[in-house]
């Protein structure tokens, strides 16, 4: 039996995940749209043998750009430029199923997978925001509709990725035959929301399917993840909550005929690293002192649906319903945090500034490694989504000081296991559903034969 | 007065523009989806000081993949990877206005423009094909509808590019102010086809607007170009036709308040280069001998709307209406060519195999340069869209042998004039329509003041 190994993803976000990162002397906010900044980050992550880098996304200017460094680059466009300067690291981009067409999404990820030699991953989101709907001229779809669309969307996209069998290209120059067209299939999808003939006009991606990633923690989100996702990014504040989520999500896999190890769960963690505890806490305090309360108040107002002003800062969070729509798992996390620790709004803002609800841990490299090891061995995580408070410094500190500690403990790889993102995540390469062997393996086909 | 200079674009297409390129011993068809192949091409073009590289695109598997190397990469995804390994050359991608949303298109080109330091260009197409409509679950829109949508699409996209003024980001770390939000504008577009609030969530592109390129030669296409385009790629077989098109299109600019030098016209040319005439003709013959008639027959059947079989090969082209829809400018070009030169179908296929209706010229570097100079000085071209028959060899031959000849004649640059694609094309950088000076310059604003 092979040893169970951690998987680590570097969640890249501008000049850092802390909302005041752009004001800290260790960052350069002028590099927000400088591709070399992100290329440097990807190279650092690769030096640390991390599995992947990941870019979040939204389709509107979310948050108060007066007080934070927003307005960055579109993830898929950026990841191609990172593919060009790296060799091993996985490249995961967020793309919405609500405001896109499956043909485009299948094609762009297939292209990124070719360009990167099999390192593409898609973080599937359904775009909850009102502001996004307004940029596409539609009413914001209801939660259930978004997930129903996402389900069919995934069906179409994976069919398109399968539409060229792996052996379709024969490249017979003498005979003048480039492809065996009996191995390229129109998908003839005609569903409730999409009608797509296919085939895709890009040949099969090196990974078969680029890796499918998801981050929703609502009931519908968890079912979607159990059905489709191969890696899940999640926000969990306590070990108990982390274990509960982990056990819950893994237990849902069986009903889709999937085993426990076909989906990896990676909670977010923002590590504030110092060579001593005091140094770590000094960095944390520096960042907290740079917070502009107006920014956090605006964010928290959107999240809770309550208009919060400066007057509210030194009082407890007002009563907030956490049951609306069943979609607001992040809202529930934040309200639970405020209630559990009896925080004022100002204190809550301080707790959210580092990771927007993700867990923030300040300490020495050994202490950070302890936390990672504890969750990993206690059944709360298969790995972590690393969210450095400042970039590039915070990622460099993690790679240079925490990664070696995790390697020393035998928890993390010292060399990449494979060439593709799937290989490094230890996940199988899906066969094309149109390949004869795949068809023969289907129960209906067996009955018919 | 500065000397008028040629502009040259390298039109990259797989392993070459000749339909039999993939069968020729000087190509490697296994590199069709290998990013390093395209990176090498971009570097060669940059070594030759070419203005730009360009990627065509369609949203369906067009043509007979049994007999040609199809199924390549999505252009925008690929261009980011080319940006990463080049410093000067412009990067032009084809994106359809019929099957996309303006918010996505504005954002992706803004991102590519940031990533490349101001080298992005958008070749605007409206997607005539039936196969494309079937991949998006809609009926193929009529020609006029496609162009009406394209007009409003451009309006939305340019508003989004303008939505952040150039001076919006103030980055005041001490004061905690990242952006002056009075300089970031919702666009509040509410038109016949689109409702988009904005602003864009990517800051203003370095070029203001990425370069707008267009290739339609129908009546509606020419009007669209006169209104929006800054460079036009076109297929013209004879000098007389080239001059007619050039004069026609330039004369349309005035009605949109634009001057002659605000739109550059670049006819396509496929140069088959040899160090002697005999060598050039040998290469041409080698390629012609590798043609699979079935491939050309299928293409020609789609273009003409007539089912053509092998029986038709040695007869003249049957009668074809060239007036349908007013959209089929390429159909007219092909039928005119067959009639003018009294070609059999087989001979016509041979003439189309090199450049799908674009002009093919075989000769020595001096002879190719003569052709380019003749069209340039006779008022038929501001430059050329270079379509090498085989890649990378044909582009290397052009850069190493034709470019020096053009430089010797004082027709082409020896160093890049500027940093951005606009600067090298000699085109101005548009101001944001929301900047106070731009507002003041509008007639209404003057009247109101």
The phi and psi torsions of B8 (rounded to 5 degrees) equal: -125, 130
pLDDT confidence band for A445 (50 / 70 / 90) = very low
Closest by Cβ to A115, choosing from B77, B131, B201: B77
Q: How far is CA A382 from CA A374, A412, B258, B297, in A?
A: 11, 11, 61, 56
Closest by Cβ to A201, choosing from B71, B164, B290: B71
* pLDDT at residue A357, as a whole number: 84
Beta-strand runs (E) in A282-413: 359-363, 383-386
Q: Which of B35, B37, B28 is nearest to B69 (CA)?
A: B28
The Cα–Cα gap between B25 and A39 comes to 37
- pLDDT digits 0-9 by tens, A289-305: 999 998 889 888 888 88
- Distance from the Cα of B15 to chain A's closest Cα (Å) equals 13
Q: How much is the mean pLDDT over chain B? A: 93
Using CB atoms and an 8 Å cut-off, which of residues 47-66 of chain A contact chain B?
58-62, 64-66
> Chain A contact for B148, CB < 8 A?
no
* pLDDT at residue B323, as a whole number: 62
* pLDDT at residue A63, as a whole number: 78
* pLDDT at residue B439, as a whole number: 55
Residue range B4-11: average pLDDT?
96
Do B67 and A101 count as a contact with CB atoms less than 8 A apart? no
Do B74 and A29 count as a contact with CB atoms less than 8 A apart? no
Eight-state DSSP code of residue B402: I
> By the 8 A CB rule, do B105 and B212 touch?
no
Chain B hits for A200, Cβ within 8 Å: 61, 71
Q: Does position B446 have pLDDT exceeding 80, yes or no?
A: no
Using CB atoms and an 8 Å cut-off, which of residues 114-143 of chain A contact chain B?
114-115, 131, 134-137
Q: Which two tokens stand for residue B377?
A: 């000085």
Do B111 and A181 count as a contact with CB atoms less than 8 A apart? no
Q: Does position B205 have pLDDT exceeding 50, yes or no?
A: yes
Q: How much is the mean pLDDT over chain A? A: 93
Where do the H-state alpha helices sit in A354-413? 365-377, 393-397, 403-408
* pLDDT at residue B161, as a whole number: 98
* pLDDT at residue B110, as a whole number: 98
Q: Which two tokens stand for residue A112?
A: 């990124």
The Cα–Cα gap between B318 and B337 comes to 13
Chain A hits for B195, Cβ within 8 Å: 134, 137
pLDDT confidence band for B325 (50 / 70 / 90) = low
> Chain B contact for A173, CB < 8 A?
yes
Residue range B157-168: average pLDDT?
98
- Distance from the Cα of A223 to chain B's closest Cα (Å) equals 27
pLDDT confidence band for B129 (50 / 70 / 90) = confident
Q: Does position A3 have pLDDT exceeding 80, yes or no?
A: no
Q: What interface predicted TM-score (ipTM) does this complex get?
A: 0.95
* pLDDT at residue A438, as a whole number: 63
Q: Which of B293, B287, B250 is nearest to B272 (CA)?
A: B287
Q: Does position B145 have pLDDT exceeding 70, yes or no?
A: yes
Among the listed ranges A234-243, A352-361, B43-52, B78-87, which one has the minimum average pLDDT value?
A352-361
Percentage with pLDDT > 90 across chain B = 81
> Chain B contact for A74, CB < 8 A?
yes
* pLDDT at residue B445, as a whole number: 36
pLDDT confidence band for A323 (50 / 70 / 90) = low
* Domains of chain A listed by start with CATH number: 7-271+359-439 (3.20.20.30)
3-class secondary-structure state, position B232: strand
Test mutation, B24, B127, B178, B187, chain A, max A CBs within 10 A: B178
* pLDDT at residue A439, as a whole number: 56
Do B136 and A103 count as a contact with CB atoms less than 8 A apart? yes
- pLDDT digits 0-9 by tens, B350-382: 888 988 889 999 999 999 999 999 999 999 999
Do B202 and A72 count as a contact with CB atoms less than 8 A apart? yes
Using CB atoms and an 8 Å cut-off, which of residues 338-377 of chain B contact chain A?
none
pLDDT confidence band for A322 (50 / 70 / 90) = low
Do B99 and A100 count as a contact with CB atoms less than 8 A apart? no
Q: Which two tokens stand for residue A152?
A: 């069919």
Residue range A46-69: average pLDDT?
94
The Cα–Cα gap between A330 and A320 comes to 13
Do B33 and A107 count as a contact with CB atoms less than 8 A apart? no
Eight-state DSSP code of residue B58: -
Closest by Cβ to A103, choosing from B34, B85, B135: B135
Q: Does position A324 have pLDDT exceeding 80, yes or no?
A: no
Among the listed ranges A61-70, A231-240, B90-99, which one has the minimum average pLDDT value?
A61-70
* pLDDT at residue A106, as a whole number: 98
Q: Does position B443 have pLDDT exceeding 50, yes or no?
A: no
Q: Does position B316 have pLDDT exceeding 50, yes or no?
A: yes
Do B203 and A33 count as a contact with CB atoms less than 8 A apart? yes
* pLDDT at residue B449, as a whole number: 33
Which residues are CB-contacts of A166 (< 8 A; sequence separation ≥ 6)?
A: A204, A208, A431, A432, A435
pLDDT confidence band for A217 (50 / 70 / 90) = confident
Alpha-carbon dihedral angle through residues B293, B298, B300, B305, given to the nearest 10 degrees: 150
Closest by Cβ to A77, choosing from B66, B70, B108: B108
Test mutation, A76, A135, A210, chain B, max B CBs within 10 A: A135
Strand bridging mode A169-172 / A177-179:
antiparallel
Do B22 and A202 count as a contact with CB atoms less than 8 A apart? no
Q: Does position B441 have pLDDT exceeding 80, yes or no?
A: no
Q: Does position A1 have pLDDT exceeding 50, yes or no?
A: no
Q: Does position B24 have pLDDT exceeding 50, yes or no?
A: yes
Residue range A128-135: average pLDDT?
92
Nearest CA in chain A to B292: A176
- pLDDT digits 0-9 by tens, A372-412: 999 999 999 999 999 999 999 999 999 999 999 999 999 99
For residue B123, list its beta bridge partners.
B94, B213
Residue range B281-302: average pLDDT?
92
- Distance from the Cα of B425 to chain A's closest Cα (Å) equals 24
Chain A hits for B176, Cβ within 8 Å: 23, 67, 290, 292
Q: Which two tokens stand for residue B368?
A: 């190719």
* pLDDT at residue A446, as a whole number: 36
Which residues are CB-contacts of B80 (< 8 A; sequence separation ≥ 6)?
A: A77, A78, A79, A80, A81, A84, B112, B115, B116
pLDDT confidence band for B447 (50 / 70 / 90) = very low
3-class secondary-structure state, position A106: helix
> By the 8 A CB rule, do A157 and A133 touch?
no
The Cα–Cα gap between B27 and B20 comes to 10
Nearest CA in chain A to B37: A115
- Distance from the Cα of B236 to chain A's closest Cα (Å) equals 28
The Cα–Cα gap between B107 and A57 comes to 12
- pLDDT digits 0-9 by tens, B208-242: 999 999 997 889 999 999 999 999 999 999 999 99
Test mutation, A31, A80, A167, A189, chain B, max B CBs within 10 A: A80
* pLDDT at residue A325, as a whole number: 54
Do B202 and A71 count as a contact with CB atoms less than 8 A apart? yes
Q: Does position B444 have pLDDT exceeding 80, yes or no?
A: no
């Amino acid at each position: 039996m092979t040893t169970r190994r951690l998987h680590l993803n570097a969640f890249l976000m501008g000049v850092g995940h802390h909302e005041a990162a752009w004001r800290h002397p260790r960052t350069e906010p002028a590099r927000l749209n400088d591709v070399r900044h992100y290329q440097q980050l990807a190279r650092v992550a690769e030096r640390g043998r991390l599995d992947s880098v990941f870019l979040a996304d939204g389709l509107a200017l979310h948050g108060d750009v007066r007080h934070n460094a927003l307005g960055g680059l579109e993830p898929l466009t950026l990841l191609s430029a990172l593919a060009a300067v790296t060799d091993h690291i996985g490249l995961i981009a967020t793309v919405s199923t609500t405001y896109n067409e499956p043909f485009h999404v299948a094609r762009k990820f297939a292209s990124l997978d070719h360009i990167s030699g099999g390192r593409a991953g898609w973080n599937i989101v359904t775009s909850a925001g009102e502001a996004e709907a307004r940029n596409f001229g539609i009413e914001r779809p209801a939660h259930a509709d978004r997930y129903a669309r996402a389900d069919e969307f995934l069906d179409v996209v994976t069919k398109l990725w399968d539409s060229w069998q792996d052996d379709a290209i024969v490249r017979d120059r003498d005979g003048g035959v480039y492809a065996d067209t009996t191995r390229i299939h129109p998908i003839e999808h005609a569903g409730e929301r999409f009608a797509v003939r296919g085939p895709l006009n890009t040949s099969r991606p090196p990974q078969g399917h680029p890796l499918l990633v998801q981050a929703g923690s609502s009931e519908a989100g968890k079912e979607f993840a159990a059905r489709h996702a191969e890696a899940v990014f999640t926000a969990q504040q306590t070990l108990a909550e982390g274990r509960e989520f982990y056990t819950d999500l893994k237990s849902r896999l069986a009903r889709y005929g999937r085993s426990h190890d076909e989906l990896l769960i990676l909670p977010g963690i923002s590590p504030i690293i110092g060579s001593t505890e005091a140094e770590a806490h000094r960095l944390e305090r520096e960042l907290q002192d740079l917070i502009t309360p107006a920014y956090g108040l605006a964010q928290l107002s959107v999240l809770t649906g309550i208009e919060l002003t400066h007057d509210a800062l030194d009082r407890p969070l007002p009563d907030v319903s956490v049951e609306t729509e069943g979609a607001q798992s992040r809202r529930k996390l934040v309200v639970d945090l405020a209630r559990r620790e009896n925080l004022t709004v100002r204190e809550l803002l301080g707790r959210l500034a580092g990771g927007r609800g993700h867990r923030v841990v300040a300490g020495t490299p050994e202490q950070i490694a302890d936390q990672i090891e504890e969750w990993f061995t206690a059944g709360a995580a298969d790995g972590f989504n690393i969210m450095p408070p400042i970039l590039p410094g915070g990622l460099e500190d993690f790679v240079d000081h925490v990664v070696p500690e995790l390697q020393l403990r035998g928890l993390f790889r010292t060399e990449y296991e494979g060439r593709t993102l799937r290989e490094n995540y230890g996940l199988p390469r899906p066969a094309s559903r149109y390949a004869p062997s795949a068809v023969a393996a289907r129960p209906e086909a067996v009955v018919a034969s």
